[in-house]
């Protein structure tokens, strides 16, 4: 029996004293502390001005004058931090943003899951291989290695520094892609604000107050959004635009509390709710949440993540079916329109590679011949473009 890589219960982050869910069992506290000091001494990855530029775009989305497409890998890999692959990812997302601009005649902000999407929350501390072998879960390249080997799964704090180094390389390529583009048409970098020993040392003091120097936009995941937890406290501390995933366990009161906590001044564009209820639940759960936030909360950007509430297993593969994802997008737009709210856009897991990770109900014998993701299944370029067109056709 191997030790799990994650704490199963909520634990207390040494730095903040607040409960921080989904933190790995770092085996060596002394190395971890050294890593935190090292990260604190390194330059911020992103600048405050870049975050403020993105905030301007997010504000337009909140004011119904623009749309947003956010997308990329579920889990980035260190070895993919090379110019050619980064360019492909950026071009793929820019292609989707171009479809949105053309189809809606609205400016469209593009936010990539890139340059830091190296830590993964997991529903279970163990995962099981097809052969039935059980192993501590892979928690992202910033924590451990996906190889099916118990030693590879031991969390290594030095990986947090590698995550920083890879993010530097990715961001320099990303910034290269900005040249000649108006500020609104760049691709900005985002990831889940998950790993406290990585995120906290990268909170920096800017001219306008504390900001996250790890990303332009960061979001708090479905498993770490408790109102009194360390992750929400981190998001509250920084003035970047931030998001929170809302899944089936969120109550309308929780959503109102989050909007008040994270956006007490009601700044349009500051807060995005990324909803991922699943096709079966969205019609029942989304309306009371939207109503409560509209009535009692601050302005928010509403984004639809049709991926994370629609996971299924087909012939032993973790996949997502296209049809329920399309149904969730349609419900999302219908619910928001019925309430006079603006469906701000999509949050997708996608890749430039021609993978067969997500499949259609119509495929009689879905063949997962090209399955590369180490975590969740992603849309290939054709599937992503179809999803964006579907969104536009209902807007």
- Whether residue 362 is annotated as binding a ligand: the answer is no
Stretch that binds ligand PEP, among 36-44, 175-183, 218-226, 228-236 (CB under 6 A): 218-226
Residues 317, 315: Cα–Cα separation, whole Å: 6
- Residue 6 interacting with ligand PEP (CB under 6 A): no
Q: Which of 59, 76, 305, 376 binds Mn ion (CB under 5 A)?
A: 376
Stretch that binds Mn ion, among 20-28, 166-174, 287-295, 375-383 (CB under 5 A): 375-383
Q: Which of 140, 197, 221, 381 binds ligand PEP (CB under 6 A)?
A: 221
Residues 231, 217: Cα–Cα separation, whole Å: 14
Residues 118, 167: Cα–Cα separation, whole Å: 9
- Residue 276 interacting with ligand PEP (CB under 6 A): yes
- Whether residue 308 is annotated as binding a ligand: the answer is yes
- Residue 193 interacting with Mn ion (CB under 5 A): no
Residues 287, 142: Cα–Cα separation, whole Å: 37
Q: Which residue is nearest to ligand PEP (CB)?
A: 221
Closest separation between CB of residue 246 and Mn ion, Å?
15
Q: How far, in whole angstroms, is CA 141 from its chain's centroid?
A: 15
Residues 147, 136: Cα–Cα separation, whole Å: 11
- Residue 77 interacting with ligand PEP (CB under 6 A): no
Per the rule left: phi > 0, alpha: psi between -120 and 50, beta: everything else, 140 is left
Task: Provide the strand spans (E) within the chain.
Answer: 11-12, 19-20, 67-72, 108-113, 126-128, 134-136, 187-192, 203-206, 209-212, 217-220, 242-246, 271-275, 301-304, 311-314, 317-320, 343-349
Stretch that binds ligand PEP, among 27-35, 139-147, 216-224, 262-270 (CB under 6 A): 216-224
User: What residues between 375 and 394 interact with ligand PEP by CB under 6 A?
Assistant: 376
Judged by the rule CB under 5 A, the positions of this chain that interact with Mn ion are 74, 376
Binding site for ligand PEP (CB under 6 A): 74, 121, 221-223, 245, 247, 276, 308, 376
């Amino acid at each position: 029996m191997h030790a799990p890589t994650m704490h199963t219960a909520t634990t207390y982050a040494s730095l903040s004293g607040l409960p921080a869910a989904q933190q790995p069992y770092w085996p060596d506290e002394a190395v971890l502390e050294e890593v935190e000091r090292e990260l604190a001494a390194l330059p911020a990855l992103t600048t405050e001005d870049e975050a403020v530029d993105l905030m301007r775009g997010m504000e337009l989305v909140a004011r119904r004058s623009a749309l947003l497409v956010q997308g990329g890998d579920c889990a980035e890999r260190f070895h993919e931090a090379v110019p050619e692959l980064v360019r492909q990812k950026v071009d793929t997302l820019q292609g989707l943003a171009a479809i949105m601009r053309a189809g809606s005649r609205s400016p469209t902000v593009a936010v990539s899951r890139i340059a830091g999407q190296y830590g993964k929350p997991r529903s279970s501390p163990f995962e099981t291989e097809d052969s039935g072998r059980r192993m501590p879960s892979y928690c992202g390249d910033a924590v451990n290695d996906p190889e099916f080997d118990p030693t590879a799964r031991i969390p290594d704090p030095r990986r947090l520094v590698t995550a920083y180094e890879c993010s530097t390389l990715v961001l320099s390529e990303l910034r290269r892609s900005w040249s000649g583009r108006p500020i609104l048409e760049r691709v900005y970098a985002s990831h889940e604000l998950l790993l406290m020993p990585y995120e906290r040392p990268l909170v920096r003091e800017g001219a306008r107050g504390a900001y996250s120097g790890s990303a332009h936009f960061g979001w708090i995941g479905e498993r770490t959004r408790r109102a009194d937890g360390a992750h929400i406290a981190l998001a509250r501390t920084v003035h970047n635009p931030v998001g929170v995933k809302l899944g089936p366990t969120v109550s309308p009161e929780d959503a109102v509390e989050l909007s008040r906590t994270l956006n007490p001044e009601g700044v349009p564009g500051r807060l995005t709710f990324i909803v991922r209820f699943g096709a079966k639940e969205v019609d029942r759960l989304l309306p009371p949440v939207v109503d409560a936030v509209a009535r009692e909360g601050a302005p928010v950007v509403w984004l639809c993540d049709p991926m994370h509430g629609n996971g299924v297993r087909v012939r032993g593969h973790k996949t997502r079916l296209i049809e329920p994802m399309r149904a969730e997008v349609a419900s999302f737009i219908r619910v928001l329109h019925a309430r006079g709210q603006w469906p701000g856009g999509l949050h997708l897991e996608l890749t430039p590679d021609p993978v067969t990770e997500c499949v259609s109900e119509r495929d009689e014998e879905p063949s997962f011949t090209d399955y590369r993701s180490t975590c969740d299944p992603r849309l290939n370029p054709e599937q992503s473009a179809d999803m964006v067109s579907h969104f536009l056709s209902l807007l």
